[in-house]
Structure 1
Amino acid sequence: MTSTFRIGDGPAVNRLGFGTMQLTGPGVWGPPADPDTAIAVLRRAAELGTDLFDTADSYGPEVAEDLLRRALHPYEGLTVATKAGLLRTGPGEWHPCGRPEYLRQQCEMSLRRLGVERIDLFQLHRIDPQVPADEQFGVLAALQAEGKVAAVGLSEVGVEEIERANRVVDVVTVQNRYNLVDRASDDVLRWCTEHGVGFLPWFPIASGRLAEPGGPVAEIAERIGATASQVALAWLLRRSSVMLPIPGTSSLAHVEENAAAAGIELDADSVEKLDAAA
């Protein structure tokens, strides 16, 4: 199993990253109850070898990017990915906004908050159905041409949308919801694997009933001395060489548990059981 993946023309990253959404307040709104612990979690993740950190302007909003800067700036040896394209109007509320002037503004604000001159990976958080898609892709291409963005990614898209975007800008990553019990994006994952495009599954640890006593995840976890979360992550890493899971947590214990999943090798029988489980 390849342990690293190169995002565009950037450096190769370890294939188990860190997602920052859970570092914010309830409903992904406002600051965490304990900012010092959030910063400690980010620093511990980096100490454990995590070198891909995924965030977004809408997490907080702005909170997660601010925490990343406080914890890890100047990001030596790290790749920081952020996203724009969702407006926040309150806890748990998300609204697509892909107007070119808004995406450009949010890129500039992310550059300022993160304290960088160029964003390693800038992702369109959602394609706004109220704005022509090519206009949204076009501003990403312009930001890249201006040197403000190194690489471009998309989030929650289908194969046709990726191919359409590729006619305007080089798409190097896709971020869709994907886990053991939600494989609706299998076709997108196959496309990404065939084309060497990184696939960042969000909500990667979900295993639902499969982790219940007697279920395949629980059985495998007990047999190999791992946790259900580690089995779920190990399965993802085995699923494709372009898979880049980004589990997030606000717990120091959990960040260490998740990082250890990179060292778990599932045997063929376990993989077969998990493949067939959902």
Structure 2
Amino acid sequence: MNTITIAGKKVPRLGLGTMRLTGPGTWGCPADPADAITLLRTAVDDLGVLHIDTADAYGPHTVEELIRRALHPYSERLLLATKVGMVRPAPNVWKPLGRPEYLRAAVEASLRRLGIERIDLCYLHRVDPAVPLADQVGELEDLRTEGKIGAVGLSKVTTDQIREARTLVTVAAVQNCLNFAEPDDPALEYCLSNGIPYVPYRPLNAGRLSDPAAALRWLLELGPLVAPIPGTSDPAHLRALFARRS
């Protein structure tokens, strides 16, 4: 199976996004938390998924807690990635918050919810335009130096923002939106040219694409550094997504 090394862990290139394991509006618990726990266990135990992507904003906090209930204690082979730097005032409302003290508090809270001492890969969920980027990634780098983060990633960023961040920290991965309906991201070529794993989020355009297999195949064919994270709350859909992996 085609694999990729992200944050020091070798995993299959197709990972699982967990944003859909919440209530409507990415808010609160899913209709049946037990089903979400079963889906997570099926992904890892039955289908060999080793890259689980989440965020403290999913719920908020809900999915990190579900992941702990489903998968803790975690396999050493599992790459567990989360994101900080986004607050949720209400369903379907997302606001970046990148003050260093908030990012530190968010990382500490994610560690507790996930039941770990170090997050394998922690992304800055969004760049907060009200805070210098150097302060935001600098705080995450401090947390990495302290051993609370294994590697630092960036989400929804421009090429210029990646370039600036790389003057301060090793960028372990970039997570941007890419799919058939939204196929153009200049950051993709930058990442491929500079050896940075590129993790497309919303690879199936939130379920709106008619041929998920073709969409994932297209993404995987973009290059060996591309590692999509499709998400679902449906066990049958999960099995279909991971039945044939590149």
TM-score range, shorter chain: over 0.9
Instruction: Tell me if the contact between 1:207 and 1:232 (Cα under 8 Å) persists in the aligned partners.
Output: no
Instruction: Tell me if the contact between 1:32 and 1:38 (Cα under 8 Å) persists in the aligned partners.
Output: yes
Structure 1 residue 163 displacement after superposition: 0.9
What are the within-5 Å matches in structure 2 for residues 216-235 of structure 1? 228-235=211-218
Residue number in structure 2 paired with 1:82: 82
Instruction: Tell me if the contact between 1:230 and 1:260 (Cα under 8 Å) persists in the aligned partners.
Output: no
Residue number in structure 2 paired with 1:14: 12
Residue number in structure 1 paired with 2:105: 105
**Counterpart of 1:22 in structure 2: which amino acid?**
R
1:146 aligns with 2:129: no
Structure 1 residue 111 displacement after superposition: 0.5
Residue number in structure 2 paired with 1:69: 68
Matches of 2:158 and 2:195, distance apart in 1:
16
What secondary structure sits across from 2:177 in the alignment?
Answer: coil
Deviations 1:164-219 (A, max 9, x none): 0011111010011100121231x2111111111111111101399974xxxxxxxx
**Counterpart of 1:59 in structure 2: which amino acid?**
Y
The TM-score, its normalising length taken from structure 1, stands at 0.85
Matches of 2:207 and 2:54, distance apart in 1:
25
**Counterpart of 1:44 in structure 2: which amino acid?**
T
Which is greater in Rg?
A: 1
List alignment gaps of at least 5 residues for structure 1: 212-227, 264-278
Residue number in structure 2 paired with 1:254: 237
Matches of 1:13 and 1:208, distance apart in 2:
24
Higher relative helix content: 1
Residue number in structure 1 paired with 2:23: 25
Matches of 1:23 and 1:209, distance apart in 2:
17
**Counterpart of 1:51 in structure 2: which amino acid?**
L
1:126 aligns with 2:109: no
Identity %: 50
Structure 1 residue 243 displacement after superposition: 0.8
Matches of 1:144 and 1:153, distance apart in 2:
11
Residue number in structure 1 paired with 2:59: 60
List alignment gaps of at least 5 residues for structure 2: none
Shifted more, 24-33 versus 197-206: the winner is 197-206
Count how many residue pairs are aligned between Structure 1 and Structure 2. 244
**Counterpart of 2:67 in structure 1: which amino acid?**
L
Q: Which runs of 4+ in 1 moved over 6 A?
A: 207-210
**Counterpart of 1:109 in structure 2: which amino acid?**
A
1:43 aligns with 2:23: no
Q: Say what the alpha-carbon RMSD is for the aligned residues.
A: 1.5
**Counterpart of 2:193 in structure 1: which amino acid?**
E
**Counterpart of 1:201 in structure 2: which amino acid?**
P
